[in-house]
Homo-oligomer: A and B are copies of this chain.
C-alpha cells in the first residue's frame, strides 16, 4: 500500500480554471494539492500540514485542466485537413465511407489509430469520446491503444444498416449481435476506456436497429453518442424518413437514445425549440464542433444561447470534419464563429467569451465524465502545464491575456507536462 507521502502531490505555478463559465479562477504562484487521484484544494499559501511534502515547482508556467474532446472520429484521422469542398452528405459518400471501410483491415486500423492516439496525447486531450467504425476488431485495437496511453475515453463501435454503401453496411441482426459481443468483451477489460453505444446517425440506422441499441444501452447502463441536426439537407432527409416524429431529436428519443442513459449529440447546429427543451429536460450533452461546422458549411450553432439556457455543453474536434485534434484550435474557432452569428443574424446574438470557451473545453465537457475539468476540491485531477514563453518575446502579459493568446496562438509545443487522474503521463 502506498504511504501518504506517495499519495499527496503538490504542484506550484499559475493556476487557472473555471468554476463557472463567467470568469476564470486564477491563483498566481499558487499550489494545487492532489490527494491520490483527486484535487484536495488550490491555495495561495500552502497550509502548514502540507509544508513537509515535496513541491513540484513549475515556476511562472500555467497549470490548467486537461482538455476534453466530446466528439471525434478516430478512423478519419488520415483524411483530416483535406476534401472540404463538399457538404456533409456528399462528403460522407465521397471521402469518409471509403476511408472507414479500410478499417476491416486490422493492420491499417492499427497504423491509423496509433497516430490518432499519439496526437490526442500530444495535443493535451486527457479525455475523449470517440467514434470508431463498424468493425469490432478495429474498435478494440483503438481501445487498447487509448488504454496504453492512459487517455480516459469512451469509444464506440459504429452501427449503420441502411443508406450507406454496401462496403460499409451491416445488417441489423449482425450489427446488434456484434455490438452485444463487443460490449461483453469490454467488460472489466480496461481501466481507462469504456464502450459507448454509437448509432452513426438516424439516416443510416433502421428503426429496428435503433430500438435494439436503445435496449442495449439501458440494459447495460451504457452511454450513447450520435449526431444531431448538423446540416439542413440531413435534417430534411430525416424528416422524410421519419414523418411521424416531430423532429430529428425526437427520433432518437423514440428509441431511448436521447438521455435515457448519459448521451452526447454532436453538432446541434439547427435545433428546434422543441429539441432544445428536450435536450435540457433529458440533460443530453451537446458536443459543439465549430471547426467541422465551418469546414463542411454546416452553419453557425447558437452556442451562446444554449450556454445561457444551461444546456450541457462541451467541445468536439470532430476530425475529419474538423481538421485538427488541437482543442486550443477548436476553442479559438468556437469564439470566432460565435462572433459571426452576431454579424449575420443581428444584435440579439452574443459571442463566446474566453472564460466561456475555456469552460466548454474543460469543465463543460468534463461533466460527461463526472467531476472532471476543474480544480475544485474533489475533482479528478487532470492537468496540463503550459510553457508559453515563446508567445511572449516582447513582454509577458497578465494571466488572463496569457490564456487568451494561448487559445489563439498556442500549440502542442506549449504543453510541457500532462496529468491524468492524478498521475503524470
Contacts and interface: CB of A to CB of B under 8 A. Distances in A.
Interface stretch (A12-20, A78-86, A306-314, A370-378): A78-86
Contact of A409 (B81, B115, B335): B81
A288 to B, nearest CB: 16
Interface in A61-77: 77
Given A81-B409, A409-B81, A297 B342 contact: yes
Nearest to A111: B394
Most chain B CB neighbours (cut-off 10 Å) among A84, A324, A401, A411: A84
Contact of A297 (B84, B332, B351, B408): B351
Interface string A394-425: 11010001001100110100000000000000
Given A342-B297, A343-B300, A409-B323, A81 B391 contact: yes
Interface residues of A, number: 43
Nearest to A335: B84
A7 interface: no
A364 interface: no
B77 A297 contact: no
Contacts of A344: 300, 340, 343-345
Interface string A339-374: 110111100000101100000000000000000000
B78 A394 contact: yes
A52 interface: no
A271 B87 CA distance: 29
Given A339-B294, A342-B297, A394-B115, A409 B353 contact: no
Contacts of A337: 294, 340
A279 to B, nearest CB: 22
Nearest to A343: B299
A81 B295 contact: no
Interface string A144-161: 000000000000000000
Contacts of A345: 344
A112 interface: yes
A336 interface: yes
A393 interface: yes
Interface in A106-120: 111-112, 115
Contact of A405 (B82, B112, B401, B404): B82
Contact of A78 (B115, B323, B395): B395
A264 to B, nearest CB: 24
Given A295-B339, A343-B300, A323 B408 contact: yes
A298 B340 CA distance: 9
Interface in A275-303: 294-295, 297-300
A294 B351 CA distance: 11
A401 B82 contact: yes
A353 B85 CA distance: 8
Contacts of A299: 343
Contacts of A332: 323
B397 A82 contact: yes
Contact of A404 (B82, B343, B409): B82
Given A83-B404, A324-B408, 17 more contacts: A78-B394, A80-B408, A80-B409, A81-B408, A82-B401, A84-B408, A85-B353, A115-B394, A294-B339, A295-B336, A297-B339, A297-B340, A297-B343, A300-B340, A323-B409, A340-B344, A344-B344
28 contacts: A78-B395, A80-B405, A80-B409, A81-B391, A81-B405, A81-B409, A82-B397, A82-B401, A82-B405, A83-B401, A83-B404, A84-B408, A294-B339, A294-B340, A295-B336, A295-B339, A297-B339, A297-B340, A297-B343, A299-B343, A300-B340, A300-B343, A300-B344, A323-B408, A324-B408, A324-B409, A340-B344, A411-B411
